[in-house]
A = this chain, B = another copy of it.
Amino acid sequence: MSEVLLLAQRARQASRRLATTSSRERDGALHAMADALEARSAEVLAANAADMDAARAKGTAEGLLDRLALDEARLKAIADALRSLAALPDPIGEIIGGHTLPNGLELRQIRVPMGVVGMIYEARPNVTADAAGLALKTGNAVILRGGSMAMNSNLTMTRVLADAATSAGMPEGAIQSIESPDHSAAEELMGLHNYIDVLIPRGGAGLIRSVVENAKVPVIETGIGNCHVYVHEAADLDMALRIIVNAKTQRPSVCNAAESLLVDESVYRVALPPIIAALEERGVVLHGDEKSMALGAANSMVAATDDDWGTEYHCLEMSVKIVAGLDEAVDHINTYGTKHSEAIVTGDYEAARRFLNEIDAAAVYVNASTRFTDGAEFGLGAEIGISTQKLHARGPMGLTALTSSKFIAMGDGQIRE
């Protein structure tokens, strides 16, 4: 039997026992996991040092090295995040709906764990603890598959977390990581339809696309964001400038950062020069269409190609397009956007209303930065990721995104006539 199938069978067994644990037991395990990460920090940091050495030897860029690095302070923050999770209300067992049927059958719909959650991710090693904690909080078994660069860190953290969870009464197999570095292991996981209830990929566009295209188990697609800010002709131009600078530059590497700027034709000659100046001052390279280029306002603007409209730069670059008005803006965004976060700046009631209704995206903003699409900002308490699909969950996902439901019905002998 392959490693992945063995893990999957153990996870399925564990999920059945997890479904019968109480909140108190699971929250106790989360605290035990947090304590273990601190108590066994030397082990985790040694594994992380090995990953760092290997990454440095490969000439990995400083930015990536910093994302990979753990230290006592970061471990403490990871442990504290598990403790915060323990303090959140438990969604499991919540009664979502129900009524008594005309024949007396008492029907209730209740929230239950998903079962077995698979996570495939590229990001920092803290995702290992985050994902394990979120899954355990919601009564799910989890199978983790982190990026190869953090392999030692991830496997050691998984061992520490799983040991602590088991000692705290959770079943063996509740928290597991795939050890095989082969790509085929991830592919096998994507195919285990009978064992994995949901698969959540977190990482770059290539990873997400590969999971969506290859998985036979249900997938929640996350985190691709080609987000727009649209400056409508009735915009407060100072507000527009502040929002654009914030959406583009406050943290350019994340999915809710803006990648494209649309400006109404009737105002761009006035509106755009100060925006261009402010963005250039912050080092943003602009890819402009013909009209915006012809303004001559930019020192470093380059001509946009059609590819730019669909590009998620994830860095200090932004495309700029002049549009005839709201219709063209909505059409452009619905064509090139990735249905993540879209914003209009306007003082016009009807333009705001139409933008909110007609834009097809997880989060649609009037007069605010796209950067707010985030579980913490939205007050969800915890975030598993940001769904950019429409099935099951859309936008920032809190704990309930890791739950399913079941109907329970209590009768006294009802049969169907």
A residues near B (Cβ < 8 Å) are 16, 19-20, 99, 101, 105, 107, 109, 112, 114-115, 193, 197-198, 212-213, 216, 218-220, 236, 239, 242-243, 245-247, 250, 334, 352, 356-358, 360-369, 371-373, 377-379, 389-392, 394-396, 404-416
- A242, A366, A409: most-surrounded residue (chain B CB, <10 A): A409
Cβ-defined contact, A415 with B197, below 8 A:
no
Cβ-defined contact, A20 with B357, below 8 A:
yes
Tell me the complex Cα distance, A363–B106, Å: 12
Cβ-defined contact, B213 with A390, below 8 A:
no
Tell me the complex Cα distance, A291–B281, Å: 83
A310 to chain B, nearest CB (A): 11
Cβ-defined contact, B406 with A366, below 8 A:
no
Chain B residue at minimal CB-CB distance from A199: B391
Cβ-defined contact, B216 with A212, below 8 A:
yes
| Cross-interface CB contact of A220 among B212, B242, B247, B391, cutoff 8 Å | B391
Tell me the complex Cα distance, A364–B374, Å: 36
Cβ-defined contact, B372 with A115, below 8 A:
no
Evaluate whether A377 and B101 lie within 8 angstroms (CB atoms) in the complex, with A406-B364, A416-B246 already known: yes
Tell me the complex Cα distance, A405–B231, Å: 25
Cβ-defined contact, B414 with A372, below 8 A:
yes
Chain B residue at minimal CB-CB distance from A358: B20
A284 to chain B, nearest CB (A): 16
Evaluate whether A372 and B409 lie within 8 angstroms (CB atoms) in the complex, with A193-B212, A377-B416, A394-B404 already known: yes
Query: Which B residues lie within 8 Å of A368 (CB)?
Result: 105, 409-411, 413-415
Cβ-defined contact, A115 with B409, below 8 A:
no
Tell me the complex Cα distance, A331–B352, Å: 55
Cβ-defined contact, B407 with A364, below 8 A:
yes
A401 to chain B, nearest CB (A): 10
